[in-house]
Structure 1
Amino acid sequence: MNILGFFQRLGRALQLPIAVLPVAALLLRFGQPDLLNMPFIAQAGGGIFDNLALIFAIGVASSWSKDSAGAAALAGGIGYFILTKAMITINPAVNMGVLAGIITGLVGGMVYNRWSDIKLPDFLSFFGGKRFVPIATGFFCLILAAIFGYVWPPVQDAIRAGGEWIVGAGAFGAGIFGFVNRLLIPTGLHQVLNTIAWFQIGDFTNAAGTVFHGDINRFYAGDGTAGMFMSGFFPIMMFGLPGAAFAMYFAAPKERRPLVGGMLLSVALTAFLTGVTEPLEFLFMFLAPLLYLVHAILTGISLYIATALGIHAGFSFSAGAIDYALMYNLPAASKNVWMLLVMGVIFFIVYFVLFTVIIRAFNLKTPGREDDVAETGAQETNSNTEEGMSQLALSYVSALGGSDNLKGIDACITRLRLNVKDSAQVNDVLAKRLGASGVIRLNKQTVQVIVGTRAESIAAAMRTVIATGPIAAATAAPTAAPVADVKPQAVPNTPKVVLETLISPITGEVVALAQVPDEAFASGAVGEGLAIRPTSKTVVAPANGVIVKFFNTNHAFCLETESGAEVVVHIGLDTVALNGQGFTRLVEEGATVIVGQPVLELDLDYLNGNARSMISPVVVSNMEDYAGIALLAGETVVAGESKLYEIQSK
């Protein structure tokens, strides 16, 4: 992984622990005397802020691990306790704050990815596999404690000095932070910068003697000097960017405004209420970079003005109306936070006027003004149902170059963060037709797709559909929105020609495809066929052909038969998460096989005990080339002997 890819992934990992802050803010706020006057609720919220470093250790470890594992999260927590306790024994002045949690979380996640499937000698086998992860993490964190106990004090002093310089620079320092924060949005590295400003810079000691670091921590702990890295964002996110959305709407030709009006209203309302601005920013970030530069400058100006006016405001998640209302009467909020609303109205006008003038003066291709209006509106598959989400995920995988091109799928709040073999294989036009606001190629192997606040759901669905079998790359952009999977229909009363007959690759009990507890298979989205619950360990080739794809985890393969049918044999459901355990590959990808030839061997005892389900679909994935299939199998089948189904030519 290159440096940029590392920080991209770190930015994503930081999202999980940051996501708990709104809960803490709600509890802390509603427990105050001017609302519910229930100290135990306020203390519940305070407990989260008091233990943020530990929360970061657990959250980062879980997010960094390859399957969001609980063992990694536990390892991150154990590593944090070992690191911090051992460090202060060496030097009581050491206080790494949230950075200690981030570092131990990274160690826990990396150890999990490297050694979660380790096999130890029989007499130590109890400590193998995932149990080894917390042990190894503790060992590495003990070494880090010995290092940081001596190395960190000067680093800590340097961070404090840098923070004091920025704080000492006052309004200028806040303005520079706001400007750089927006410039880093396209890369996703703004989260790393934010973590330093919001959770590390500055110290505050409360009446109980507890020390808090960072703008957010200090603000919610009652520090009336906190907020210089947060206050100025409220006018921009609540008012400025919605003003930009209105400018883009009125800049579009009248006949095209209905096409973009709903989209612009949606992203503007999201920015105002929640402070999530990326869906709106990505609408013009690449279409009109000049506008984005103006936006970054105005953000810096807003933070400069807010700090110069002595406004102290804060947020738990982002600078939207919800956070503004929650923090308005907090002890750390200055009496003049109402001025942010006045600033907001002014920035709304400034954004609206500047964006309108610049768009028209330079004829910028903002939404509704593109040369090809057919590309403007996002034409999404209905993803309100599981089937719709699966279809949308399939379409995204195809648009991104197919499953072979995707090496890693992550997501943050609004974007898919992808590691690919070749970013040139990503189909930008198709991705935008599916609803993406933009596609960012950071380098040949790193791509981001802006899909809005459903990014996590789409990423999870993409991982699920990829686990079901190979997915081909889209060869061209469609001329219409994707629709639900339509199964080929044979022409009535037309003689059906049997092109090929498949035999069973597994011995076991037959299960109808519609009864498979996986929507992608049950809906026929992957292909037509049936499923088998294995009762023997050998998996054979169902026909003569070539193994065109063998998954690295050995849980599935695709056989292209001599007649061109693409047969996917997928052993179990969600078995990709087993990382190859329980499977032994007997042939390699690219091998030519004959019907009945052993291809895979199963450890059924292990798989039955660890797989979510051992129901194994056997489907033809390119059914659009054929008229249909005719099932031949009875209630049970024998590998290499029983006929499974016939493939009928058109």
Structure 2
Amino acid sequence: MGILAYMQRIGRSLMVPVAVLPAAAILIGIGNWINGMPWGSGSIVATFLTQSGGAIIGNMAILFAIGVAYGMSKDKDGAAALSGLVGFLIITTLLSTKSYALFNGIDIEQAGWEKLVPLAYDKINNQFIGILVGVISAEIYNRFNSVELHKTLAFFSGKRLVPIIVSIVMLLVSFILYFIWPMVFSILTSFGEQIKDLGSAGAGIYGFFNRLLIPVGLHHALNSVFWFDVAGINDIGNFLQPEKSLAAGTATIGITGRYQAGFFPIMMFGLPGAALAMYHTAKKGNKDKTASIMLAASFAAFFTGITEPLEFAFMFVAPVLYLIHAILTGISLFIAATMQWISGFAFSAGLIDMLLQSGNPLAVHWYMLILQGLVFFVVYYVVFRFVIVKFNLKTPGREDDDSADTTVEETQQKATTSDLSTLAQQYLAIIGGKENLTNIDSCITRLRLSVKDTDLIDEQAAKALGAMAVIKLGKTGVQIVVGQQAEKIANHMKELA
């Protein structure tokens, strides 16, 4: 497996712990809303809700260890998740400030003993360590989950053996980290500080690369640096716990949330503007079909912030448009950060998250993001329409006649795809059958498959089934963008394989 494909596996697995964030957003959002009402100030109910949501945010590091271990395990087994938990507890205990003091003969009873311990050990409980532990635990699980021991130790065979091996390995990892963690921590925090020092420009640069990495699925890894406590930024964690982060000095009104705010104008307004441009430039005979696709995708982007169905509609057929999209995203984050129009999210930058965070004390002039969004709607529409017509780009509805025509056979084939089991069977045949398949996984909108040979995959047949894109990653990796039923299709494929 190539380094790119491996990084994609890690990026995909990060979605497992991130998926719990909407629960935290709902609890904290409603709690902040109640607390902001004249009748709700100091409400026990508001405190109950915000503290419940804070419990999720405050333990993201351990959720990353568990979620990444589970997400990268080959059969998504609970034993891998348990191993991630075991590994995380061992490392964070052995490398805690008290453990360091014990190892170095520092008397923890004396006043100010904490100052004698390097700061890195006080920050060992972070998402970077969680990801590291999760990756190691998953690799150990994938290697040893079927090992059979001598019959006298048969009880500890197979999956029961994995947490034991992880425990031993984490002792070695802790020993290594004892010496190198301060250096790693310094590098990570230095990177975070450099981005912070760039201010609004840093937010814009992040926004540009966030979109640019989506085609290869590495944007999740990039997001973890800015949104979570990997490099000391922790934009989402600090934003969703305003009282705690403001009191601790880890949040600043008008600053915290700058790596999230600029996405709202793009996802809620900009991309729907691009969709309208693609509809207006579609050929006359294809307008109805194009309208149905663009309307559904725009609805998802506006309300939930899920943009992949729209982005993949032009990402590969018109890469120049996608580059423009990435640049405009960077500009949007730069503007929002500069003007201090701030809001945040736990899932994505859609209307639902915007409304949930409207009562957050760190949400400054959040309503101005709507005005900015209306401007970006016009900008996207004008720019996309001009570029599409000027360069005769083959965006949806503008395909050549021979590829745009739908035969009776294709129509009948598409009619059967409402049955997900049948659809999974068809996708299985398209990728060369189960003989060519080595691993099945999924993300929000993509089938993420490992195969023996990507040359056996029929891209045109996949698109005839409704796939928005087929992304081949070397000779053994492929992603098929199928929409929000990806997980269900993947589950049916696992049953068939």
Scaled by the length of structure 1, the TM-score of the pair is 0.68
Q: In the alignment, what sits opposite 1:287?
A: 317
Structure ranking higher in strand proportion: 1
Alignment of 1:270-285 (within 5 A): 270-285=300-315
Q: Is the 8 A contact 2:74 2:439 kept in 1?
A: no
Which amino acid is 1:2 matched to?
A: G
Give the Cα separation in 1 of the matches to 2:342 and 2:286: 42
Q: Is the 8 A contact 2:309 2:468 kept in 1?
A: yes
Instruction: Report the Cα offset of residue 48 of structure 1.
Output: 0.3
Q: Is the 8 A contact 2:343 2:357 kept in 1?
A: yes
1:482-501: CA deviation from partner (whole Å, max 9, x where unpaired): xxxxxxxxxxxxxxxxxxxx
Q: In the alignment, what sits opposite 2:273?
A: 243
Give the Cα separation in 1 of the matches to 2:496 and 2:149: 34
Instruction: Report the Cα offset of residue 448 of structure 1.
Output: 0.9
Aligned match of 2:216 in 182, 187, 193? 187
Q: Is the 8 A contact 2:342 2:362 kept in 1?
A: yes
Instruction: Report the Cα offset of residue 254 of structure 1.
Output: 2.5
Q: Is the 8 A contact 1:248 1:356 kept in 2?
A: yes
Q: Could you say what secondary structure the match of 2:439 adopts?
A: strand
Task: Name the Cα RMSD after superposition.
Answer: 1.7
Q: In the alignment, what sits opposite 1:394?
A: 425
Q: In the alignment, what sits opposite 1:528?
A: none
Q: Is the 8 A contact 1:287 1:366 kept in 2?
A: yes
Give the Cα separation in 1 of the matches to 2:457 and 2:273: 32
Q: Is the 8 A contact 2:191 2:231 kept in 1?
A: no
Alignment of 1:36-47 (within 5 A): 37=43, 38=45, 39-47=47-55
Instruction: Report the Cα offset of residue 458 of structure 1.
Output: 0.9
CA shift in 2, pair 1:341/1:410, >3 Å: same
Instruction: Report the Cα offset of residue 77 of structure 1.
Output: 0.5
Q: Is the 8 A contact 2:262 2:336 kept in 1?
A: yes
> What percent of counterpart residues are identical?
47
Give the Cα separation in 2 of the matches to 1:275 and 1:430: 29
Instruction: Report the Cα offset of residue 436 of structure 1.
Output: 0.5
Q: Could you say what secondary structure the match of 2:317 adopts?
A: coil
Aligned match of 2:372 in 343, 357, 360? 343
Residue 118 in structure 1 maps to residue 120 in structure 2? no
Alignment of 1:14-163 (within 5 A): 14-32=14-32, 33-34=35-36, 37=43, 38=45, 39-88=47-96, 89-90=99-100, 93=119, 94=121, 95-96=123-124, 97-163=126-192
Unaligned runs of 5+ in 1: 204-212, 467-650
Give the Cα separation in 1 of the matches to 2:128 and 2:406: 44
Give the Cα separation in 2 of the matches to 1:139 and 1:293: 47
Q: Is the 8 A contact 1:375 1:433 kept in 2?
A: no
Higher relative contact order (CA 8 A, sep 6+): 2
Residue 226 in structure 1 maps to residue 228 in structure 2? no
Instruction: Report the Cα offset of residue 422 of structure 1.
Output: 1.5
Q: In the alignment, what sits opposite 2:5?
A: 5
CA shift in 2, pair 1:383/1:330, >3 Å: farther
Q: In the alignment, what sits opposite 1:173?
A: 202
CA shift in 2, pair 1:381/1:455, >3 Å: farther
Instruction: Report the Cα offset of residue 381 of structure 1.
Output: 4.7
Instruction: Report the Cα offset of residue 382 of structure 1.
Output: 5.0
Instruction: Report the Cα offset of residue 305 of structure 1.
Output: 0.7
Instruction: Report the Cα offset of residue 124 of structure 1.
Output: 2.2
Q: Is the 8 A contact 1:244 1:352 kept in 2?
A: yes
Instruction: Report the Cα offset of residue 261 of structure 1.
Output: 0.9
Residue 329 in structure 1 maps to residue 359 in structure 2? yes
Give the Cα separation in 1 of the matches to 2:492 and 2:64: 26
Give the Cα separation in 1 of the matches to 2:265 and 2:437: 39
Q: Is the 8 A contact 1:61 1:73 kept in 2?
A: yes
Q: In the alignment, what sits opposite 2:393?
A: 364
Q: Is the 8 A contact 2:188 2:231 kept in 1?
A: no
1:337-362: CA deviation from partner (whole Å, max 9, x where unpaired): 11101110000000000011111111
Give the Cα separation in 2 of the matches to 1:455 and 1:312: 32
Which amino acid is 2:151 matched to?
A: D
Q: Could you say what secondary structure the match of 2:261 adopts?
A: coil
Scaled by the length of structure 2, the TM-score of the pair is 0.88
95-104 or 185-194, which deviates more: 95-104
Instruction: Report the Cα offset of residue 202 of structure 1.
Output: 6.1
Q: In the alignment, what sits opposite 1:300?
A: 330
1:167-221: CA deviation from partner (whole Å, max 9, x where unpaired): 1101111111111111111000111101111113565xxxxxxxxx511111112
Q: Could you say what secondary structure the match of 1:350 adopts?
A: helix
Number of residue-to-residue matches in the alignment: 453
Q: Is the 8 A contact 1:12 1:410 kept in 2?
A: no
CA shift in 2, pair 1:465/1:137, >3 Å: same
Q: Is the 8 A contact 2:452 2:476 kept in 1?
A: yes
Residue 311 in structure 1 maps to residue 319 in structure 2? no
Q: In the alignment, what sits opposite 2:482?
A: 451
Alignment of 1:219-618 (within 5 A): 219-222=239-242, 223=251, 224=253, 225-334=255-364, 336-371=365-400, 372-374=403-405, 380-382=414-416, 388-466=419-497
Which amino acid is 1:219 matched to?
A: F
Q: Could you say what secondary structure the match of 1:229 adopts?
A: helix
